[in-house]
Amino acid sequence: MNVSVPCEAAPNEARVALVPETVAKLVKAGAAVKVARGAGERAAFPDELYVQAGASIADDSAALLSDADLVVCVGRPSDQLLASMPKNAALLALLAPLGEPEYVKKLADAGITALSMDAIPRITRAQSMDALSSQSNIAGYKAVLLGALALPKFLPMLTTAAGTIPPAKVLILGAGVAGLQAIATARRLGAVVSAYDTRAVVKEQVQSLGATFLEIDLGVDAQAAGGYAKELTPEQLEKQRRFMVDAIGASDVVITTALVPGRPAPVLITEEAVAAMKPGSVIVDLAAEAGGNCALTQRDRTVTSPNGVQIVGQTNLPSTMPYHASQLYSRNVHALLGVLVKHNALALDMDDEIVRGTTIVHQGRIVHQPTLDALAGAAS
C-alpha cells in the first residue's frame, strides 16, 4: 500500500497528518510512505526524521500522488490535490461532511473514496481512533491559557505581604471533551471553576474534577445518540439564556464549547449577559468556527464589548500546538488503519460499524447516510 502525506492546504494549519513515529510503524507493516517536502516542518517534524523513519520525500504533487493508494490529510485538501489524485485512491481527513454537505459532491465528482476522521462512531471500540476527542482535548487546554493570558488578574489565590488576592472565577459552558479538559486545566491553575451542560449525565464528571455543576431544569435531558448534545427548542434556549446571565456576570473567564454536529452553534451568551460581566473579563468561544456561542463573537478576531469584556474568537486551537496535536491525530489515523487495512491493502468492510460510519464517498458515490439526509433536506 502506498501512503502519501501532502502539505496542508489551509494557510493557518500547522499540523501534519502523519508523524515519523507512525510512519515507521506503517513502513514496518509493509507500506510505502511518501511525504511532501516540508509537510511536517511547522509541527517540528523536519524531513530528516521522516527519512529516518523509512519515508521518501516528494518534491512535487506528481511525485507524491502518482501511485498513491491512500492520501492522509488533517483538513480538506486543495482542489488541485483532489483533482490530481488517482481515481482508485482513498482520501482520509477531517472532512466535516455535515458542516458543508455540498462539499461532499465535489469528493464524489473526483471519483475517489473519501473517509472522514470526524465521522468515526463514538463507540468503545473506536476510542483510540477518535480524532475529534484528541483535538478537542488540546482546544480545551489552550482555551484556558488564552483566557488566563487575556485576563488582567491572577487565576490562583495568592497570599502576599501586600494582602491576599482571591482566585479568579472560571465558568465552562459545555462539558464534553474540550469542556472537561478546560475544567481540569483551570483547576490546575488555581481558579474556582463551575460548569454547565444540558446533559445531566456529565454532572458526576464535572464534580470529579473539582468543579461546581450548575443545574437548570429544561424539562429534558439534551443528550443525543453517541454522547453528543442535541439541539434545544427556542423556548428551552431562552430559559437557558435567562438562567445564565447571573452565572456569566459573576465570572472572570467564560469558556464556551457547545456544538451541535451539522448545526450552527447555539447562542448561550447574549449581549445582555456580556453587559453583566465586569470590565476586564474574558470570553473564549471555542464554537467560533460554527458561528459562536456568544452573540458578539467574531471568527478569528478578539473584540472588546462596550463594557470592556474581551471576546476571543480564535479558531483551530489544536493547530497552535501542532507537535502534540499532530502526534495524537497521527495515532488516531494509525488506529483506524488497523480496521481499514487488510494484508497491506485497503479493504472496506461496510458491515463494520466503524468503516460504515467513517466512509463518506465510496468510489465516487456518496454512501454516508447522515450526509445524504442533509443533502435531501437542503434540496427540499
What pLDDT, on the 0 to 100 scale, is given for residue 291? 95
Does 15 map to a domain?
yes
The position carrying cell 512535487 is 60
Q: What is the CATH number of the domain that holds 248?
A: 3.40.50.720
- Grid coordinates of 32: 510505502
Catalytic residue among 15, 84, 130, 196: 130
Query: pLDDT class for 215, splitting at 50, 70, 90?
Result: confident
* pLDDT, mean of residues 246-265: 92
First to last CA, the chain: 42
CA distance 167 to 314: 25
> Does the structure show a pLDDT above 80 at 217?
no
Indicate the DSSP class of residue 278: P
Catalytic residue among 56, 60, 67, 127: 127
Q: List the domain range (segments joined by +) for residue 216.
A: 138-319
Does 250 map to a domain?
yes
The answer to whether residue 122 is catalytic is yes
Of the candidates 34, 86, 92, 41, which has an alpha carbon nearest to the alpha carbon of residue 63?
34
CA distance 239 to 216: 9
Catalytic residue among 47, 223, 228, 323: 228
Q: What is the pLDDT of residues 343-373, one digit of tens each?
A: 999 999 999 999 999 999 999 999 999 999 9
| Same-domain status, 302 and 159 | yes
CA 49 to chain centre: 27
Angle between the N-to-C axes of helices 369-379 and 101-109, in degrees from 0 to 180, rounded to the nearest 10: 110
Q: Is residue 202 classed as helix, strand or coil in its secondary structure?
A: helix
Q: What is the pLDDT of residues 70-106, one digit of tens each?
A: 999 999 999 999 999 998 999 999 999 998 899 999 9
- Grid coordinates of 237: 434556549
| Same-domain status, 210 and 301 | yes
Catalytic residue among 42, 122, 187, 188: 122
| Same-domain status, 165 and 313 | yes
The answer to whether residue 127 is catalytic is yes
CA distance 333 to 256: 28
Domain count within the chain: 2
Q: Is residue 285 classed as helix, strand or coil in its secondary structure?
A: strand
CA distance 117 to 130: 7
Q: Are 193 and 212 in contact (CB under 8 A)?
A: yes
| Same-domain status, 214 and 352 | no
| Same-domain status, 357 and 252 | no
| Same-domain status, 100 and 167 | no
Overall pTM surpassing 0.85 (yes/no): yes
The position carrying cell 488516531 is 332
The answer to whether residue 78 is catalytic is no
